Structure 1
């Protein structure tokens, strides 16, 4: 039997694991009692909760930044997946925000951007996301 968890999207966290009797591991609360405290509570597997948390921290839009902010981020920690192709450049922070999500920095021509997304994105996927957000 797969272990289940109480998860809150609003709080962006796993609240507690669920015992075989359906109550929370720490406080012994039922689903209804947890729901009274946390109205958006859901029962999820650890994998589902992890995926929901990941999706909650991924930026849906990109944020314009300055060249100075781009350079500061590049010099702050060793960059990960630093790529330069023609008029575009991207790298990722080596420090994750949560799980597989990290901050991604992008230069397209003379425009600079940052956003949070999974570290598995390719340079082309990063550039495509920025371009999609600009249109």
Structure 2
């Protein structure tokens, strides 16, 4: 199985309807060039990642609590198994959402940093003493 590596903009088109993806990309590129990302957009993405992290951790904790108490509650086994499957699916979904958001945030940070360094002409590269 090969791992597909997709760029930030490709992920938008793979996840969202075409018009929504175009709108999202247009909003993200408020900086002007094709690679620029607005700072406030990056801060909102960071806040969203933090919210998803909390949701993912909560979902994982719920699943672990269910799994630990499972042996004690075998009396209602059928219902508990259904609940466990639901909690596991929810934990996976919330974790996937968090990981996707974190990856997008990382790409946005990289694009913002790249656009900031190219906007300051004449500066020497960091770490060099000439």
Query: Would you say same fold, with TM above 0.5?
Result: no
Larger radius of gyration: 2
Higher fraction of helix: 2
Higher fraction of strand: 1
* Larger relative contact order (CA 8 Å, sep ≥ 6): 2
- TM-score scaled by structure 1? 0.24
- TM-score scaled by structure 2? 0.24
